[in-house]
Every structure is written in structure tokens, then in C-alpha cells.
Amino acid sequence: MSRALTETLLDLSELTVLTEAATGAYAVTAVLAAMAGARRVYAFTKPTRHGTPGDARQQTLELADSVGVADRIDVLEQITPDILNQTDIVTNSGHLRPLTAALIDKLPREAVIALMFEAWEFRPEDLDMEACLRRGIPIVGVNERHPAVDVFSFLGPLCVKQLHDCGLSVYKNRIAVLCDNDFVGSLRAGLASSGASVDTFDNVQAVYRDEWDAIIVALRPAAEPRIGSPEATHLAACAPPGATIVQFWGDMDRTILSANGLGVWPTAPPALGHMGILLSDIGPEPIVRLQAGGLRAAEWVRRRRTVSSDGFAQIVTQPPDPAFANSH
């Protein structure tokens, strides 16, 4: 965490941050904000499948205490108008979502919302875009490919971990990567460096018949599953019986895939629009870097600094195409 703060130059002095108190690797977000000198950090928590509010409070404050900033963090189960009125940065974090118009309308006009991932990955269901536009409150994505953040470089190892989990060696495996977005280079490089034979395709119909051990699906989620009946039929014709369709990103109709004789991984479906494996599954490092970068991007815009293509911050200026709408 200290290394991430040094590399991003995150400085939240004189700023108040509203984020989440969470469990596991995501406990770092509130603590990073406090370590970066935030005047006050309000960390909201609620019951989730990852833990109780008590779990989130304990893990967040234990981590904060270990670095001497617990006194700057208030863990909350209710967000009052008084807190919103003084908040400079709100993070688009799981416990806070959705960020409603009622919440956004109580923020100061100079406040910003930290998207905590890249602008093109914006999900309309996460927050009220119209309320932000009406209030003039920026939604700030983070350049995950900035050298101080570099989260995209973890996508390859993450995909390798997913394949290992489903019982494939990766080394000497024949892998098709079905990807229509900026993840493709990182996925190809990660798999190839682990010894896989990799071909990439930007649409289902481009996939050809081969002795695939697995087909990785990494497609931008849309209103309908990216792998439905015609797609499943095509993939079944291109792969040996029992080949595994691995859901990295992009919704799939698992029943139809199974009916076509294909294996599906992971066995439990992720939430709609979310990835099939969490970045934290390969350790806290990518989460620490992502959260520090997300806060740095928001701080940059909150301090009215110039946004450039090679900097930390990306501005979500209008609702994106629905095909771009879902990810983390």
C-alpha cells in the first residue's frame, strides 16, 4: 500500500472521502484514503455475500490500525445528509452502489465520483448518470494502463489462474481467446508466457474448428447474453466434445452450452455483467494498485487539474453504448 501511494503520488490532504468498509483485499480502499492524508474517511458497509458489517468493520479497522490511521476512518451503516454535504470524493464501490440521485443531489457541486475502473467499462446500473450531468458532478474513470497503476498486466495471470482452477495446465494447452475489447493483448500475452498455444478472435463466428482445450470468453456484456443459442452451437461445432468454455467476462447461457456438450467454468455464474474471477483471487496487489489509482484519478479532477490521455484520469461524459455497459 505504501508503495502504491508513492508510485501514484496520491495526496488527499484537505479532502473528505466517502467509500466502503469491505472485507478481504477491498478493505484497503478506506485505509489507502486515510494513509494519503484525507481529512476524513467515511466507510459505509452493509451485509453482502462476502461478509457482515461486523466483518467489514473489523477487517478495515485492523488494517487501518496496523498503519496508524484508524482514528481518521468512521465506519458507517447509514449515510447522513451531513456527511454527503461535506464529501469531496465518492467511490463507486460495491457497498455504496447504486449511487442514487438522492445521494448525488446532496453532494457539494465541486464533488467528484471515482468510477474505480476505466471509463469505457461504465455500468449504467451503478450510478445515476443523469443526476451527475444535471449537477455537473464529474464521473472519473482511472487509466488502468498508467505505469503507476498497470492493472491490465494482471489480466493474463488472472486468466491463467482461472484455467488452473478449472483443471487445465495452460502449458501446452490449445486456447482460443474470444475477446472484443482492450483486454485482448494482456490475455494473449499472459497465456502465451505460460506456454499455451493461443489464437484470438473478436467475434464468435470467426472461431474455427481446432483441438481447443478451452475457449476463453472475454466479451463486453450487453443486454442479452453474449453466448446464446447460435453462439453455443457454433462453438460446439468448433471444439472437441467436453471442451471448456471459460467465462472471464461477458454473460453466457450456461444451460445451452451444457446442452451442446460443452463444459462451463466457473461452475457458479458471476453476477450479470461481472467478471468470472476476481482480481483479488491472485492476491491483493492488483486491488491495491487499482484502488490507489482510482482515488488518484478522482483527486486529480477534484483539484481541477488538466486531464490528458496519458494521465491517471478519464472522464465519463455521456452514457456509453449499452454494449460497453458492464464489467468488474
Tens-place pLDDT, residues 36-80: 999 999 999 999 888 899 999 999 999 999 999 999 999 999 999
Q: What is the pLDDT of residue 317?
A: 64
Averaged pLDDT of the chain: 94
Q: Looking at residues 149-153, what average pLDDT do you find?
A: 96
Q: What is the DSSP letter of 304?
A: T
Q: What is the pLDDT of residue 324?
A: 37
Q: Looking at residues 262-267, what average pLDDT do you find?
A: 96
213-259, pLDDT tens digit by residue? 999 999 999 989 999 999 999 999 999 998 999 999 999 999 999 99
Percent of the chain surpassing pLDDT 70: 96
184-201, pLDDT tens digit by residue? 999 999 999 999 999 999
Q: Please state, in angstroms and rounded to a whole number, the distance separating the CA atoms of residues 81 and 78.
A: 10
Q: What is the pLDDT of residue 322?
A: 44
Paired strand residues for 43:
19, 75
The C-alpha cell that represents 102 in the structure block = 438522492
pLDDT at 327 over 70: no
Q: Outline where 195-284 has alpha helix (H).
A: 229-238, 254-259
Q: What is the pLDDT of residue 318?
A: 47
**Three-state SS at 130:** helix
Q: Please state, in angstroms and rounded to a whole number, the distance separating the CA atoms of residues 104 and 184.
A: 35
User: Predicted confidence band at 123 (pLDDT cuts at 50, 70, 90)?
Assistant: confident
> pTM for the full model?
0.91
